[in-house]
Chains A and B, each alone.
Chain A
């Protein structure tokens, strides 16, 4: 059953989820039998999904804009009293944007993984999980109700757990997977509570019913309920998208193989939170307080991630901090209301390309350097890894927001939108976004220069150089790895400009996000653009002087307190441990103790008492007829006494 649209290919939507799911099932169920060709099946499943998505996208582009929002209902999923949920797929410009990002970037990462995981005996299982990840993410973005979205949401959590802990032979990796899973569960609780509140307020969980009614819901159910729903959705988004205060899992998630990091950071997983908030836009607009909190969380996280990024020596962890910061930009934009939604998604799209490219590049560097991730032991790799250096360089320029690369078109718009408004908000959020851009330029340039420029801090063979340096034989990655990087680099260069021309992307999303009135920022646009560029150039120049011109010490030098704090993720683990983990442990210990003493003690004591009483009574069974007779006589006496007392 299709509604509201003239699109021909709507009924293909279930295949977008089914195709990678079939791939995952075959690879995981058939097991070792598929070891020899399993990875190619994984690539095929992902690529086929991309083709299906492309067909639907072309069909949607050929449909008039007001006909582009449709749902395809497969059937009834749950029908239990007041709760009725259809198994339906939401096909509109927003979900198609995600479908294209997930399948295109996902397929490139699949191809890259074929070579990257070449020597791993469990490569087939890895591809099974990758397909599962893609399938879960597509279900998440295509669901037409919160409940079906939740299924994909949990599927993404499961797949990330399996992939982060993929090399679970090492304890840290397994612990990192568990940490990601547990922190995500906290966010999931938010989504569950939000769904309960939505069902109680609107009597439905489907987007088609809830979202149009959100405005009236505020008047009917009261502002408090809408704010609670908004905050719970934010909690959910914080868990998946690694925003404060649930950000701590992202850095540890680097324990997974590098293609997984690329997939988590670019196409799937962390983008889910932004999707949820943009999709739930009308609910947030009905709850301005929650919206403000979304913006604050975004602004704080973008600065938090940026500060952490400046001090990390692990190339993957530096990139992870950068993702946190960039997702912070998206959350900030999503909290700004209709003027921000399109830019949040736009930045998500461009970020998906350049961040995937950067991660795949980092994987290529690790591949060349014997799986070392310490950037203090890199340096001077540009001539030895030309393709990696150029593709990562383009991604670097894109994330810096240098015109005309992709990041410029999306990030500048977010900064501009952050400066729109009245009172203190534009100044606080705008300046945070502006400052974040400067720090981003510094830490990304630091990463780039430490890796590719400067002097070598490793040795090509035993005989040469200083003796402490490790011996490395860097070589460019095979073509299966470089081609995905080249394609992503091309996306990082051109995608933003192409989609930004004539506000094409904003117009494309309008059927979902609504038309936003144009507002003037509190500062003129040309001034903002200049300020951003000045800060970016300043940040990059500082990094250039410190890490390309000056020698990089191979040991982290003693530093200011703030740098030491940033090196340990601004004490995020210490905070979590002292605020949540230890009190939780004390609570469980206290509960176990009270269970043992009060509950168990009470009942065991009662049972013991009855047992002892029984032992006492058993002694009366002495085998002497006389004593039995005496008991009978005594009983008779008691009966007589009772009768006498009752009669008188």
Chain B
């Protein structure tokens, strides 16, 4: 098994995540798409670290995980607040700033 196949997997995961973000309306699902994209990136980072024999990529992967964890906390809090006020978790309903 070639190491570059991990890059292909990362690209496929990223594409699935991006498609989820762009196509789905439910905020929770969109959020999951974002998480999928982040993890696809992490996979790419780790793969490149392996290819180049440099740990910088692995370090970055840890950073991404930490930031993602924080982001999930904030993001879920926002989604729940919106759901409470608007009784909907659809991203298309969140357009108050658009006149």
Contacts and interface: CB of A to CB of B under 8 A. Distances in A.
A624 B92 contact: yes
The prevalent SS among residues of B at the interface is helix
Contact of A623 (B21, B25, B95): B95
A55 interface: no
A633 B95 contact: no
A624 B95 contact: yes
Contacts of A624: 91-92, 95
A625 B94 contact: yes
Contacts, number: 23
B21 to A, nearest CB: 5
B51 interface: no
B91 A623 contact: no
Contacts of A630: 22
Nearest to B91: A625
A624 B25 CA distance: 10
Interface in B45-91: 91
B84 to A, nearest CB: 19
Interface in A599-648: 621-626, 629-630, 633
Contact of A621 (B21, B91, B92, B98): B98
A247 B9 CA distance: 98
A633 to B, nearest CB: 6
Contact of A626 (B22, B97, B98): B22
Nearest to B37: A633
B95 A626 contact: no
Contacts of A633: 18, 22
A624 B21 CA distance: 12
Interface in B7-23: 18, 21-23
Contacts of B22: 626, 629-630, 633
B98 to A, nearest CB: 3
Nearest to A624: B92
B98 A623 contact: yes
Nearest to A622: B98
A626 B23 contact: yes
Contacts of A625: 30, 91-92, 94
Contacts of A629: 21-22
Contacts of B18: 633
Nearest to B19: A633
Contacts of B23: 626
14 contacts: A621-B98, A623-B95, A623-B97, A623-B98, A624-B95, A625-B30, A625-B91, A626-B21, A626-B22, A626-B23, A626-B91, A629-B21, A630-B22, A633-B18
Q: Which 4 A-B pairs have the closest CB atoms?
A: A623-B98, A623-B95, A625-B91, A626-B22
Given A625-B30, A625-B91, A626-B91, 20 more contacts: A621-B98, A622-B98, A623-B95, A623-B97, A623-B98, A624-B91, A624-B92, A624-B95, A625-B92, A625-B94, A626-B21, A626-B22, A626-B23, A626-B25, A626-B92, A629-B21, A629-B22, A630-B22, A633-B18, A633-B22
Interface of A: 621-626, 629-630, 633
